[in-house]
Amino acid sequence: MAKTQVQSEFIGKSQNIEAEGCFSINFFRPTTSNPVSVMGIPLEAGTSLKIQQNVGDTDHTFYQVIFGSGASGNQLYVTKIMPLG
């Protein structure tokens, strides 16, 4: 069994997010955020998009995050499960 660590970051602008060899990545849009899409997939307010790799595989994707206009602020939380070592 691999040793892992969890990394979390807050995103507040449109940008590319590098998976950096993670085992899984999760994008969470709070209910108070402007509209946001990840790789062209729109996230509904209060929902997540989770992408997991098969056992032994790692993710090296650059995920495109794009915020739309709205009355709220841009908010997206990204959590990665990374191999340790």
All residues at 6 or more sequence positions from 1 whose CB lies less than 8 Å from its CB, including other chains = none
Task: Give me 5's structure tokens.
Answer: 């660590």
Per-residue model confidence as pLDDT tens digits over 14-54:
999 999 999 999 999 999 999 999 999 999 999 999 999 99
CB 42 within 8 A of CB 79: no
* pLDDT the model gives residue 2: 79
C-alpha to C-alpha distance for 83 and 46, rounded to whole angstroms: 28
Q: Which domains does the chain have, with CATH numbers?
A: 4-83 (2.60.120.10)
* pLDDT tens digits for range 53-85: 999 899 999 999 999 999 999 999 999 999 997
